[in-house]
Structure 1
Amino acid sequence: MASNQYTKLVESQRAYFDTGEPASLAHRKKALLTLKKLIENDGAELVDAVEKDLRRLPGVTKNLELNAAKVEIDYFLENLDEWTAPHYVDKTLNTLLDTPMVVSDAKGVVLLLSPWNYPVNLVLMPLVPIIGSGNTVIIKPSELSSNTADAIERVFSKYFDKEFLAVVQGGIPETTELLKERYDHIVYTGSTPVAKIILAAAAKHITPCTLELGGKCPVIVCDDADIEVTSKRLAWGKWLNCGQTCLAPDYVITTEATKPKLVKELTKNLHEFYGSDIRNNIDYSRIINERHFDRLENLLNTTNGEILFQGGNPDRSDNFIPPVIIDSSLEDPIMADEIFGPILPIITVQDISEAIATIRSMEKPLAAYIFTRSDKNIDRLLKETSSGGVTVNDVMFHMTVDTLPFGGVGHSGFGRYRGKFGFTEFTHPKAVLKRGFFADSLTSARYPPLTPAKEKGMARITGKRIALPKTVKTYLPWLSCLIAGVVIGIVIQKYKTF
Structure 2
Amino acid sequence: MAREVEKKAVFDTDSAKEVVKELRASFVAGKTKSYEWRVAQLKALLKMTEENEPQIAAALRDDLSKPELESYIYEIAMLKSSCRLALKEMKRWIMPERAKTSLTTFPSSAEIVSEPLGVVLVISAWNYPFLLSLDPVVGAIAAGNAVVLKPSEIAPATASLLAKLVANYLDSSCIKVVEGAVSETSALLEQKWDKIFYTGNGRVARIVMAAAAKHLTPVVLELGGKSPVIVDSGINLQVATRRIIAGKWGCNNGQACISPDYIITTKDYAPKLVRLHAYVNICNLFPFNHFSQVLSILQLDSFKRELEQFYGKNPLESKDLSRIVNSNHFARLSKLLDEDKVSGKIVHGGERDKNNLKIAPTILLDVPLDSLIMNEEIFGPLLPIIMVDKVEDSFDVINSSGTKPLAAYLFTNKEKLKEKFVATVSAGGLVVNDTTVHLAEHTLPFGGVGDSGMGAYHGKFSFDAFSHKKAVLYRGFACDAFVRYPPYTRRKLRLLQALLGGSLLSIIRALLGWS
In the superposition, the TM-score normalised over structure 2's length comes to: 0.88
- Residue 444 of structure 1 and its aligned partner are, at CA, apart by 1.6
- Residue 60 of structure 1 and its aligned partner are, at CA, apart by 1.8
Q: Which runs of 5+ in 2 are unaligned?
A: 1-10, 271-296
CA contact (8 A) 2:100 2:109 kept: no
Q: Cα distance 1:312–1:252, how it changes in 2: closer, same or farther (>3 A)?
A: closer
CA contact (8 A) 2:231 2:265 kept: yes
Report whether the alignment pairs 1:238 with 2:248: yes
- How many residue pairs get matched? 474
Equivalent runs, 1:223-234 vs 2, <5 Å:
223-234=233-244
Residue 357 (structure 1) aligns with? 396
In 2: Cα distance, 1:465 partner to 1:312 partner = 74
User: What is the aligned counterpart of 1:255 among 262, 266, 269?
Assistant: 266
In 2: Cα distance, 1:398 partner to 1:140 partner = 26
- Residue 10 of structure 1 and its aligned partner are, at CA, apart by 0.4
CA contact (8 A) 2:316 2:352 kept: no
In 2: Cα distance, 1:396 partner to 1:166 partner = 31
User: What is the aligned counterpart of 2:174 among 155, 164, 169?
Assistant: 164
In 2: Cα distance, 1:492 partner to 1:24 partner = 53
User: What is the aligned counterpart of 1:185 among 176, 184, 195?
Assistant: 195
Moved more, 229-238 or 450-459: 450-459
SS of residue in 1 equivalent to 2:31: coil
Q: Cα distance 1:303–1:367, how it changes in 2: closer, same or farther (>3 A)?
A: farther
- Residue 157 of structure 1 and its aligned partner are, at CA, apart by 0.7
SS of residue in 2 equivalent to 1:433: strand
SS of residue in 2 equivalent to 1:352: coil
- Aligned partner letter, 1:449: P
- Residue 91 of structure 1 and its aligned partner are, at CA, apart by 2.8
Residue 310 (structure 2) aligns with? 273
User: What is the aligned counterpart of 1:438 among 478, 483, 494?
Assistant: 478
Residue 433 (structure 2) aligns with? 393
In 2: Cα distance, 1:14 partner to 1:136 partner = 7
Residue 484 (structure 1) aligns with? none
In 2: Cα distance, 1:95 partner to 1:66 partner = 50
Q: Cα distance 1:497–1:34, how it changes in 2: closer, same or farther (>3 A)?
A: farther
SS of residue in 1 equivalent to 2:313: coil
Q: Cα distance 1:314–1:84, how it changes in 2: closer, same or farther (>3 A)?
A: same
In 2: Cα distance, 1:110 partner to 1:182 partner = 9
SS of residue in 2 equivalent to 1:417: coil
In 1: Cα distance, 2:23 partner to 2:487 partner = 50
Residue 318 (structure 1) aligns with? 356
- Residue 465 of structure 1 and its aligned partner are, at CA, apart by 11
- Residue 28 of structure 1 and its aligned partner are, at CA, apart by 1.3
- Residue 312 of structure 1 and its aligned partner are, at CA, apart by 5.6
User: What is the aligned counterpart of 1:101 among 111, 124, 130?
Assistant: 111
SS of residue in 1 equivalent to 2:204: helix
SS of residue in 2 equivalent to 1:183: coil
Residue 375 (structure 2) aligns with? 336
In 1: Cα distance, 2:239 partner to 2:213 partner = 46
- Residue 219 of structure 1 and its aligned partner are, at CA, apart by 0.2
- Residue 289 of structure 1 and its aligned partner are, at CA, apart by 0.2
- Residue 173 of structure 1 and its aligned partner are, at CA, apart by 1.2
CA contact (8 A) 2:125 2:152 kept: yes
- Aligned partner letter, 1:295: R
Q: Can you list the C-alpha shifts for 1:278-300, whole angstroms capped at 9, x where unaligned? A: 11111111000000000000111
Moved more, 309-318 or 145-154: 309-318
Residue 453 (structure 2) aligns with? 413
Q: Can you list the C-alpha shifts for 1:158-208, whole angstroms capped at 9, x where unaligned? A: 012332110001111111111000000001111101100100000000111
Residue 47 (structure 1) aligns with? 57
SS of residue in 1 equivalent to 2:258: coil
* CA RMSD of superposed structures (Å): 2.1
Q: Which runs of 5+ in 1 are unaligned?
A: 467-487
Residue 290 (structure 2) aligns with? none
Q: Cα distance 1:492–1:174, how it changes in 2: closer, same or farther (>3 A)?
A: farther
In 2: Cα distance, 1:226 partner to 1:331 partner = 32
- Aligned partner letter, 2:424: E
In 1: Cα distance, 2:475 partner to 2:509 partner = 19
CA contact (8 A) 1:56 1:286 kept: yes
CA contact (8 A) 2:349 2:363 kept: no
- Aligned partner letter, 2:18: K
Q: Cα distance 1:32–1:497, how it changes in 2: closer, same or farther (>3 A)?
A: farther
Q: Cα distance 1:181–1:92, how it changes in 2: closer, same or farther (>3 A)?
A: same
- Residue 105 of structure 1 and its aligned partner are, at CA, apart by 1.0
Identity within the alignment, %: 38
- Aligned partner letter, 1:404: L
- Residue 494 of structure 1 and its aligned partner are, at CA, apart by 7.9
CA contact (8 A) 1:303 1:334 kept: no
Moved more, 384-393 or 325-334: 325-334
Q: Cα distance 1:42–1:453, how it changes in 2: closer, same or farther (>3 A)?
A: same
- Aligned partner letter, 1:266: F
- Residue 303 of structure 1 and its aligned partner are, at CA, apart by 4.9
Report whether the alignment pairs 1:290 with 2:327: yes
- Residue 66 of structure 1 and its aligned partner are, at CA, apart by 1.1
- Residue 126 of structure 1 and its aligned partner are, at CA, apart by 1.2
CA contact (8 A) 1:237 1:395 kept: yes
In the superposition, the TM-score normalised over structure 1's length comes to: 0.91
Equivalent runs, 1:47-126 vs 2, <5 Å:
47-126=57-136
Q: Can you list the C-alpha shifts for 1:423-451, whole angstroms capped at 9, x where unaligned? A: 211101111110011111xx221111211
In 1: Cα distance, 2:499 partner to 2:62 partner = 67
In 1: Cα distance, 2:215 partner to 2:239 partner = 50
